[in-house]
Structure 1
Amino acid sequence: MAQRRRGAELEKALLDAAWDELTDNGYARFTMDGVVKRAGTSPPVLYRRWSDRDELVRAAIVHRLKESRPTLPDTGSLREDLLTLMREIATAHVQLITVMYAHLAGYYRETGRSPDDLFDPVTTGRTAALDTLFEHAVARGEITSELLTERIKTLPFVLLRHEILSTFAPVPDHVLEEIVDTIFLPLVR
């Protein structure tokens, strides 16, 4: 007899099942029943937590973004920290980024949300991670904080996302180096 899941373990199983349903079927064919079957649970268990599919899709996406957050590097150099982080994203997170933008077009259209709503940096912890990365660079004297607007901090990652969505493939190292060396670093030095 299978042991009954509860609390955080049950919630993780439900959100993982919702993510699998979303990546396999897309938003248009995403159903609460499909999630229930994948998770091996009952509809009341699911509906007690999320009242509709849009709420569940959002929760599954935020859950996946939190789980897949890359490790924050501390190499002693802003350039190397950025390249290390971008290399991880450019290889390990291609599917996640593709799903977030390509597979969720119907979700954005139906709910009026945008990808930026789902990539909320406070919810996913990205703001704290990037702030830490840049604080280290400021403390080392590599850059000055006055030049670090929120848009500039996210610029290398926006350009990386653009590259991934243009090819749906891992981004070559020479492209990452070009983003960091010829676009980003000149803006902050």
Structure 2
Amino acid sequence: MAERRRGAALETALLDAAWDELTDHGYARFTMDAVVKRAATSPPVLYRRWSDRDELVRATIAHTLRKHVLDVPDTGSLREDLLTVMREINATRLPLVTAVSAYLADYHRQTGTSPSDLIDPSTTGRKEALDALFDRAADRGEINPEHLTDRIKTLPFDLLRHEFLTTFAPAPDHVLEEIIDTIVLPLVR
């Protein structure tokens, strides 16, 4: 007999089942019943946490993105820190980015939301990482903190995501360097 899941373990199992359901069938065929079945639980267990599928989708995406937050490097320079993170994303996150985009197109159409509504750095745990990276650069005197906005902090990663979605391939290293050297660094200095 399987051990009964509770608390955080149960919530993780539900969100993982929801992610699997999204990636297997997309939003168009995503149902609360399918998640219940996949998670081997009952409808009340799921509905106690999320009242409808849109709420569950938002929680699922935030959960999945929080699981994939990268470590923040400290190379001694903002340029190298950003390139290190972008190279890691480039090497490991293409399938995640394209899956989130492809599987949620129907979600965005039906709910009137945009991808930025689901990948908000403060919801996914990325804001703290970005703040640490840019705060260190400001402390080293590399950048002018008065030039920083949340949009500028996420800009290199937004541009990388754009590359993924327009090419369906990892970005060449010279593209990563161009994003940092010709767009991001001039904005923050």
Classify the TM-score, shorter chain.
Answer: over 0.9
Q: TM-score, normalised by structure 2?
A: 0.94
1:115 is aligned to: 115
1:125 is aligned to: 125
Cα distance in 2, alignment partners of residues 144 and 182 from structure 1:
17
What are the residue-to-residue correspondences of 1:1-189 with 2, within 5 Å?
A: 1-189=1-189
Cα distance in 1, alignment partners of residues 51 and 153 from structure 2:
36
| CA offsets 1:34-87 (integer angstroms, 9 cap, x no match) | 211221212221122112111111110111111111111111111110011111
Cα distance in 2, alignment partners of residues 32 and 26 from structure 1:
13
The answer to whether the Cα contact below 8 Å between 1:78 and 1:137 also exists between their aligned partners in 2 is yes
Cα distance in 2, alignment partners of residues 103 and 152 from structure 1:
27
- Equivalent position SS for 1:141: coil
One-letter identity of the residue aligned with 1:60: T
Cα distance in 2, alignment partners of residues 18 and 88 from structure 1:
26
Cα distance in 2, alignment partners of residues 129 and 142 from structure 1:
18
Cα distance in 1, alignment partners of residues 48 and 187 from structure 2:
49
Task: Give RMSD over aligned pairs.
Answer: 1.3
Q: Which runs of 5+ in 2 are unaligned?
A: none
Shift of 1:134: 0.6
The answer to whether the Cα contact below 8 Å between 1:91 and 1:171 also exists between their aligned partners in 2 is no
5-14 or 99-108: bigger deviation = 99-108
Shift of 1:153: 1.8
The answer to whether the Cα contact below 8 Å between 1:90 and 1:171 also exists between their aligned partners in 2 is yes
| CA offsets 1:88-124 (integer angstroms, 9 cap, x no match) | 1112111221122222111111112211111122111
One-letter identity of the residue aligned with 1:118: L
Cα distance in 1, alignment partners of residues 187 and 113 from structure 2:
31
Cα distance in 1, alignment partners of residues 47 and 187 from structure 2:
48
- Equivalent position SS for 1:15: helix
One-letter identity of the residue aligned with 1:171: A
One-letter identity of the residue aligned with 1:119: I
One-letter identity of the residue aligned with 1:139: D
Shift of 1:21: 0.4
Q: How many residues were matched structurally?
A: 189
Shift of 1:180: 0.9
